Amino acid sequence: MQLNTIKPSEGSKHAKRRVGRGIGSGLGKTAGRGHKGQKSRSGGYHKVGFEGGQMPMQRRLPKRGFKSHLLQFNAEVNLTDLQRLGAAEVDMLTLKQARLIGELAKVVKVINTGELTMAVVLKGIGATAGAKAAIEAAGGSVA
């Protein structure tokens, strides 16, 4: 194989359709756009979701709920993650370095998912009631 013999695979390239080039081409006169109307004119089309002037779906339906921008500052860690981390003392910095929580996190809470068999001391980290019981049962504490 040489550089001058490389060709695209069969059927991957095709000639652009040339419209408006006479009756014999099959795409002359109106160039496949039909007669009159907004879609036949140059630059004439409508935005996505436009329903011909009827009130569009996204405006007919009621607004519901919201997504809090403060959520990006909250993070949660489960017991399995703490077990895998293997540290005796866990604080915010330890979790960030282990990439268990995001860099922006300000509030961290341990949730009761998975199992914990080693003693872990949490500093500056919250825990749910179930997670706190599991941590204390394993010999750890929540400060």
**Mind listing the pLDDT tens digit for each residue in 52-109?**
899 999 999 999 999 999 898 999 999 999 999 989 999 999 999 999 999 999 999 9
pLDDT class for 143, splitting at 50, 70, 90? confident
pLDDT attached to residue 44: 85
Average pLDDT of the chain?
93
Give residue for tokens 């095709």.
14
Give residue for tokens 């293997």.
86
pLDDT attached to residue 46: 84
pTM, whole model, 2 decimals? 0.55
Q: What is the mean pLDDT of residues 113-137?
A: 94
Burial of residue 52 (number of CB atoms within 10 Å: 0-12, 13-18, 19+): exposed
Give the residue from 28, 9, 7 showing the smallest Cα distance to 19. 28
Which CATH class name applies to 69-142?
A: alpha beta
